[in-house]
A and B are shown apart, each in its own frame.
Chain A
Amino acid sequence: MSATKRVQQWLTFTRQWWLFDAKWQDPYKSATVITKYLKGGHKPIFGGGHMDCGDHVVVINSQDIALRGGDEWYYRVYFHHTGYPGGATWTKAWELHKIDPTMILWKACYKELDKNWSRRGRMLRLHIFKDEKIPVDIIPNITDQIPQLRAVPKRLKDYSQEEIEKFPKLFDFPKEHVLD
């Protein structure tokens, strides 16, 4: 084996580390992308769900996830049963997010993966953090990032007064118009 091919061989069988910024992202739609990397589906050597070629994914800003408008924060409900009679609980999404801001994304990825024993091992390679703060020993491992599904919107407050004024206008006020 030549020297260049040898390095390529190493790279195919290493576990790479990816970064994903969950700011303003839908957790249930981004879970389909994240689990693809956890399984190794993005690799050319991927041959099925039984293969152990998954990568690590580091998710940041999980407290800034966005659910669909209307009232999805209300009607999305998580069920849990303790096993004892009367031990059923239904927690709404905003209640769960208040307790632990990494929980909704973790559950979305857990639900998305194949239901077999390889799921637990793959979930261990998912590292979710609520802030931008990542532990020091994880940062040097990260090599690349997964693109976001939605562009992060900007509030009107965040624009300066000049930018708002100089943005091209679609119409002008009529000649005699009351400003209010």
Chain B
Amino acid sequence: MAGITSPLRFGLKHFVSKTAMSNLKLKPLSALTQRSLSTTCACYVKQIDVTEVGDQIVIEAKIVPSAREKYIAKLPTDPTGCKGCPLCRLGLTVRHTDVLIINQFINSKGKQLPREITGLCMEQHKRMDYLIVMAEKAGLIDRDVVRKIEFKGLTYYEPEEWEEPNYRKYYDETVINEFLYGPRKRH
């Protein structure tokens, strides 16, 4: 999937020769999902299939019915001022061991979905970001994400945790409040 040119218009079949593909500047797939300036949302489709026939590559966009349509929870009316955020409305306190809930907020690579799709408020979005990392480091979910740190124009990659055998770890979620709102007041 990696290495597809961005300016292609989807919704139609495209035939590109392999030599032509190599000449073009290849961009990662994430460039596709970025919203371009257009009145229509032509770049947004459900599923992209790439097949190779001889020396031709066929890129096809298919509209697929979503699998989670049947099993969506009925949300109550919001008791707080937070409108539309599903976690606030339900009043859930999600822990990092609730893997089935956290799994809904990440894609197949393990990256967190944007707020436009999930509909979370900013506070819950940040909180979910910490929970995903906690669940990964505790060994409950698997991710293929390379964490990048950009600082003063340079990029650093996070090192691996340690080479020694991964013993069991657990996390305390009350730490997240300190990350978000600063250290606790101690008298």
Report whether chain A binds chain B.
Answer: yes
- Verify if A155 is at the interface (C-beta below 8 Å from B): yes
Cβ-defined contact, A180 with B107, below 8 A: yes
Cβ-defined contact, B46 with A178, below 8 A: yes
- Verify if B80 is at the interface (C-beta below 8 Å from A): no
Given contacts A66-B168, A67-B169, A180-B1, whether A169 and B103 have CB atoms under 8 Å apart is: no
Cβ-defined contact, A178 with B170, below 8 A: no
Interface range on chain B: under 10, 10 to 19, 20 to 34, or 35 or more? 35 or more
- Verify if B127 is at the interface (C-beta below 8 Å from A): no
Number of interface residues of A (CB under 8 A): 40
Q: Identify which of A156, A167, A178 contacts B142 (C-beta below 8 A).
A: A156
Contact with A along B66-109 (1 / 0, CB 8 A): 11110111010000000000110010000001011101100111
- Chain A residues positioned under 8 Å from B168 (CB to CB): 24, 64-67
Cβ-defined contact, B68 with A172, below 8 A: yes
Given contacts A67-B169, A171-B104, whether A178 and B33 have CB atoms under 8 Å apart is: yes
- Nearest-neighbour CB distance to chain A for B146, whole angstroms, equals 16
Cβ-defined contact, A97 with B167, below 8 A: yes
Q: Identify which of A74, A150, A156, A169 contacts B141 (C-beta below 8 A).
A: A156
Cβ-defined contact, B170 with A169, below 8 A: no
- Chain A residues positioned under 8 Å from B71 (CB to CB): 165-169
- Nearest-neighbour CB distance to chain A for B31, whole angstroms, equals 11
Taking A159-B100, A167-B100, A177-B44 as known contacts, 8 extra A-B pairs with beta carbons closer than 8 A to each other, sorted by chain A number, are A67-B170, A72-B169, A170-B73, A170-B86, A172-B68, A173-B68, A176-B44, A179-B48
**A-B pairs with lowest CB-CB distance, top 6:** A176-B44, A66-B168, A153-B97, A168-B73, A69-B171, A170-B86
